[in-house]
Amino acid sequence: MAQAIQAAKEIAGLDVDLRPDFVTLELIPQNPELALDRYEALWHKAEPKRSAMVTVTAPADRAVKVTLTIEPDHGAWRKSWAGWTYLQRKARELQGGDALDAQDEVSGDGQTLTAMILAGETRMFSLELRAKLDDGVVPGTYGFDVVVRDQEGGEIRRPGFLTLTHPQSRLLNMLPSVYLEEMDKLREEENGDTPFFERFLLGFEDSLRPLQRTLDRMDSLFGPFSAPSEFLIWLGAWVCIPLDENWSEMQRRHLIREAVELYRWRGTHRGLSRYLEIYTGVKPEINDLPVRGMRLGPETKMGAPETKLGDVPAHTFVVSIALTDPSKINEQVVHDIITWEKPAHTAYSLRILRRTSA
């Protein structure tokens, strides 16, 4: 391991700290391609990893532009085990200036981070550490240096250690105590190394891990906005909502979320209006008052406000939907919704209009 601070190349006034400098990760096998393992959260994917924070404080009298890198001290170190991240600056003109060469930048492989630190400013950078059980990866402690360099060739190093270990077998704790006693003896004989029998049990746990991972996030399968898209038809069947393939994915998710409320108001003006609004994106106008149309006779007056053309008999309602682009909806779907939601003894008339103004 290199010296903590190389005096010949020391950056005057710059303070660097790495915490924690000892990180332990469990080696977990890569996810197998199983059908049960493909259902994950819709927007977020959590990965097993640990973070170490590197704190850099600039001298009080000047700003510095530094480059942070990782230099391993072990031949078996892999670049994929570590990478830099940072909180992006929000105001360039206030923090670091608006020049492009003054802004933070992370290399494509995540191995190098360049940052501008103002005079007296303290910045924190996250070193993400992750590892998985793969060919050639063995448990052990791997040393590395966090190296901070400035534009003038100055350099500061902080040592760190990454320990990779097999996870402890949970199945071992379910066996009779005689096995646990024997494992303790074997650990003493093997200088603390994991006995073969415990590693043998881990093979069974690895085969069950995808199923356990699915069970751990089972609740996401029942959420209208967290369930995978291929699960929506099944989820719609649970709430007895027929999902039409002509509906977009987000329309179907909104429909499933409001299914219970729609059933409470099924057959009413409110229920039909909300159902149509979910599909069309606009609130429809529903007129369920009977209208007696114009009749030619001595009392007929053209232009009178009470004069109406066409009858709307009792038990019949008119649905009017004004859309900016009527071609974006399927008229047959609208008819299906009305047929599904209206009282059985009623009839209706549908008018899809083009909206001319917002």
User: Do 210 and 31 touch, CB atoms closer than 8 A?
Assistant: yes
Instruction: Please state the domain extents for the chain.
Output: 7-165, 172-216, 265-354
Least confident range of 27-41, 254-268, 326-340: 27-41
Whether residue 11 has pLDDT greater than 90: no
Q: Please name which of 209, 229, 295, 290 lies closest in space to residue 32, comparing C-alpha atoms.
A: 209
The Cβ of residue 64 has, within 10 Å, a number of other Cβ atoms equal to 23
Alpha helices in the chain (DSSP H): 177-189, 196-216, 232-238, 249-257, 259-264, 269-280, 331-341
> 7-165: what CATH class?
mainly beta
What angle in degrees, to the nearest 10, is found between the helix axes of 269-280 and 249-257? Answer: 150
pTM of the predicted model as reported, rounded to 2 decimal places = 0.51
pLDDT band at 283 (very low <50, low <70, confident <90, very high): very high
Supply the pLDDT for residue 196.
79
Q: Is 82 in a helix, a strand, or coil?
A: strand
Residue % of the chain over a pLDDT of 70: 78
Q: Please name which of 171, 143, 173, 169 lies closest in space to residue 158, comparing C-alpha atoms.
A: 143
pLDDT digits (tens, 9 = 90+) for 166-220: 777 788 888 888 877 887 787 777 665 677 787 788 778 877 877 777 787 788 8
